[in-house]
Amino acid sequence: MTSKVAYADVEVGTELPAQVFRLTRATLVEYAGASGDFNPIHWNEKFAKEVGLPDVIAHGMLTMAEAARVVTDWAGDPGAVVEYGVRFTKPVVVPNDDEGATVEVSGKVAAKLDDNQVRVDLTATHAGQKVLGMSRAVVRLA
């Protein structure tokens, strides 16, 4: 599959539309049900603190998936993403309130590759700190 974005129209430095994702305790419960990841660090404050965390934290794969949405929304076709990887650098702490936590994600075309592909570098932050490192996607463009 290829994206709706044309390779010829994209230059190195092209910025993808940034997005902000809100994660609440309800989001974590929904994700746990969908993924089958019921680790208590994602829902039990007492347990999370006993193992040295400041509070309940979001699933790393949920944070990773939300960041990927910036790329798939831009490309217009999730199937255009041919490679994606991240390193988890900081947890996203999700407080037990109505606000939850926000993850801000931006992206930029870092390189044009062969076969109508580009590498997109993503930046994901929570509370002013990077939560994903080496966050990169390779996307096949039209």
What CATH number is given to the structural domain containing 99? 3.10.129.10
Domain interval for residue 41: 7-140
pTM of the predicted structure, to 2 decimals: 0.93
* pLDDT tens figures, 105-123: 999 999 999 999 999 999 9
In a domain, 14, yes or no: yes
Q: Which residues have a Cβ under 8 Å from the Cβ of 10 and sit 6 or more positions away? A: 109, 112, 118, 141
User: CA 106 → CA 8, 66, 70, 94, distances in Å?
Assistant: 22, 11, 7, 21
Residue 1 confidence class, pLDDT cut points 50, 70, 90: low
- How many domains, the chain? 1
In a domain, 69, yes or no: yes
Which position has the token pair 């966050």? 135
In a domain, 129, yes or no: yes
